[in-house]
Structure 1
């Protein structure tokens, strides 16, 4: 059997059953050998590829299902498996047809081409590698609300591929984000574990009762039907400002959307403000001080007003 048949120069050519049958049909040794190689290549490719599609791919899919692998993680893995089956089928077909020398030549050309393509597609490759890390590390899943780029962008993840992640913003805009942009910085997943913690600092005057203000903040959190009781609301004194004492409230909301988060926080802060007004607790305005001198004068005279000590 040979994939590169010899010319009919009196040298004995080894033909397989297919080539011998074609030779006996009157096609000649050279043409019979060529057709035999082509037929064996096609038969080898079809056999291996069909076997891979019928056995290997279903086996992998069943394995992924048994391991409860996320659907968004299965898609790229199945794609890689299909490409691998295709590659193995082509390599096996070259072997069956005895095209070994040709396969080696093609491998060298493919390696050179892959190197050139790699240089030209560095960004694509970096996004691909970043996508692999997203699948393995799982910093977020489809349906999660994420924030990145220091909170500049946020939205709900709709799709994750090996190159890009698609995020639907709360203004209903669809962002196609390169995966490298999500792995090169900090990603915030506010609703990981199905709960969102909200923090808000209420400023009260230095002459106000801290304990009374704390009780009001906690009571209004407990009165709101959509704020969780477990984890319980809490208040901490976090800062002593120039004009106020900062009391940080921490509350929890169950699996909210962005609209729920904004609405609930607004209702809660409004309720606390109304209770503060009823109790006579002041939320001071920020105090601004002027530093330096103020110059007043004309062409002939000038005076400087200095701030009082």
Structure 2
């Protein structure tokens, strides 16, 4: 090595002796280090694609950009220090703090990217609850941001114990001044942990005019898309004081109808009831394990009422109406097969034919008196 250096010009030898304090050589070294990292990264990417596990892909994708940034920013910080020291002719102590902040920032950046990659991967799995995944990801991001901020504050010489004491007093003041914001925050936590609904659920409240599909659950508010496609922004604190109904979690949907048969077909009512019950028990889309009631239920003003009470297997709104339509059409066919008819509102007028002539004779006399 010494023989090789002896063959070089003295100016080049002097430059190499001070490579760690020369901005140009530091920049060239950074570029070479970046090329080496890209080669290593491409090789690791090929290896991770051959494995069956996804965690190595997520970790490698998380460190790619931050490490490249560190390779360029760390030497740039050193070069900046040399330039400023030569210009000011003084030692700069704050550069070490800047380097520490750079390392902390890179670490937080890697963890944030890793959390985001894991969240995106978990959301692609059908057996993962979207609301829970998003909640855990938000808590993880908040945790690493707080840890990074506290570490940076400590690097500036701030006492964490004093900071926590001040934070307790300041937190009380902030809590009183921003109680609505905090109530929304804890309302969001309640939604995440109690899980009365999740993203994609159809929810409604009988206490408020709230009904639609949940699009997003944030820390402060929940976005609900109404059925006429209007976005509804609901503060999370509202859900702690209202009743929320989640029809998306129904196990079945109910068919509850009253079928009216004419009084003239009273002899066929019992047969119609038995036929409807048999049809429902054998229907492929009716859950016969649930409550199934078909009975003559009362005398209407113009009909003999049959109650039909049953549950479908599907909970899908569109599919439910198709099943209900099929059931009602089959009931109509059953009534028709029994040579009966579905009743409609009617009125019967009875005339007293014995007194019809007397009333007719009184009419001219009344006109004459007038």
With the length of structure 2 as denominator, give the TM-score of the two structures: 0.52
CA distance in 2, matches of 1:213, 1:186: 41
Q: Give 3-state SS (helix, strand or coil) of 1:157's partner.
A: strand
Partner of 2:162: 104
Q: Does 1:199 align with 2:199?
A: no
CA distance in 2, matches of 1:130, 1:246: 47
Q: Given the superposition, is the C-alpha separation of residues 128 and 95 from structure 1 closer, same or farther in structure 2, using an over 3 Å criterion? A: closer
- In structure 2, distance between residues paired with 1:114 and 1:190: 39
Query: Aligned partners of 1:125, 1:69: CA distance in 2, in Å?
Result: 28
* TM superposition shift of 1:98: 2.4
CA contact (8 A) 2:296 2:306 kept: yes
Deviation of 1:177 after TM superposition, in Å, equals 2.7
Displacement after TM superposition at 1:235 (Å): 1.4
Give the Cα–Cα distance (whole angstroms) in 1 for the partners of residues 87 and 232 of structure 2.
65
CA 1:192 to 1:50, structure 2 compared with 1: closer, same or farther past 3 Å?
A: same
Cα deviation, 1:202-233, whole Å, max 9, x if unaligned, reads 255797576434334445547877x3456567
CA distance in 2, matches of 1:135, 1:72: 7
Tell me what 1:45 maps to.
101
Matched residue, 2:153: 94
- The counterpart of 2:141, out of the listed 82, 91, 94, is 82
Structure ranking higher on relative contact order (CA contacts 8 Å, 6+ apart)? 1
**1:2-17 aligned within 5 A:** none
Q: CA deviation at 1:200?
A: 0.6
User: What TM-score, normalized to structure 1?
Assistant: 0.60
Q: Deviations over 1:56-85 (max 9, x none)?
A: 86379659949x643333334323322332
Contact kept, 8 Å, 1:40 with 1:96, in 2: the verdict is no
- The aligned counterpart of 2:27 is none
Q: In 2, Cα distance between the equivalents of 1:238 and 1:167? A: 43
SS for the counterpart of 1:170 is coil
Contact 2:335 2:342 (8 Å CA) reproduced: yes
Question: Counterparts of 2:248 and 2:277 in 1: how far apart (Å)?
Answer: 22
Matched ranges for 1:207-218 at <5 A? 208=266, 211-218=270-277
Q: Distance in 2 between matches of 1:113 and 1:122?
A: 13
Cα distance change, pair 254–77 in 1 and its aligned pair in 2 (3 A):
same
Larger-gyration structure (1/2): 2
Instruction: Figure out how many residues of one structure are paired with residues of the other and give that number.
Output: 256
Aligned to 1:297: none
The residue matched to 1:202 in structure 2 has which SS?
strand
TM-superposed deviation, 1:89: 1.9
* 2-structure distance, mates of 1:44, 1:220: 77
Q: Is the 8 A contact 2:277 2:294 kept in 1?
A: no
1:251 aligns with 2:311: yes
- Larger helix fraction of residues: 2
Distance of 1:85 and 1:43 partners within structure 2: 19
The Cα of 1:252 is off from its aligned counterpart by 1.0
Work out whether residues 234 and 251 of structure 1, in 8 Å CA contact, stay in contact via their aligned partners in 2: yes
Point out the more displaced range, 40-49 or 242-251: 242-251
1:211-290 pair list within 5 angstroms: 211-218=270-277, 221=280, 227-228=285-286, 231=289, 234-235=292-293, 247-257=307-317, 259-262=318-321, 264-266=323-325, 268-269=327-328, 271-272=330-331, 275-276=334-335, 279=338, 280=340
- Name the CA distance, whole Å, in 2 between partners of 1:142 and 1:148: 16
- Which runs of no fewer than 5 residues in structure 2 stay unpaired? 1-77, 346-370
Q: Is the 8 A contact 2:203 2:247 kept in 1?
A: yes
RMSD over equivalenced CA pairs, Å: 4.7
Contact 1:76/1:162 (8 A) holds in 2: no
CA deviation profile, 1:237-273 (whole Å, cap 9, x unmatched): 597688676624112142413x444454355446535
What SS does the corresponding residue of 1:265 show, helix, strand or coil?
Answer: helix
